[in-house]
Amino acid sequence: MSSQAGRTYPMEGASVLMPQHAPYTNPITVLVCGGSNFGVALDNCVSMQPESANPTWVIERMVRPLISHVMRSIH
């Protein structure tokens, strides 16, 4: 992943471990989408299969930038 594609708090991206199905022989895939790079919303998702022989990040573009605004009042 390039230095311009980091995900920073408070405008973080979403990550997920992709589903597995029996007999569980396919590689595990991690997917990270959206977020921001120092306040600029990102328009990409990156995925990786960390247990593969030569794991690398694969980048895909989304139709628009995506960030998560999660704000809560604490009383």
pLDDT digits (tens, 9 = 90+) for 26-71: 899 998 887 777 777 778 888 999 999 999 999 988 776 665 555 4
Neighbour tally for 7: CB within 10 Å: 19
Concatenating the DSSP letter of every residue in 4-52 gives GG---SSS--EEEEPP--TT--SPP-EEEE--EETTEEP-EEEEE-TTS
For residue 16, pLDDT beyond 60 = yes
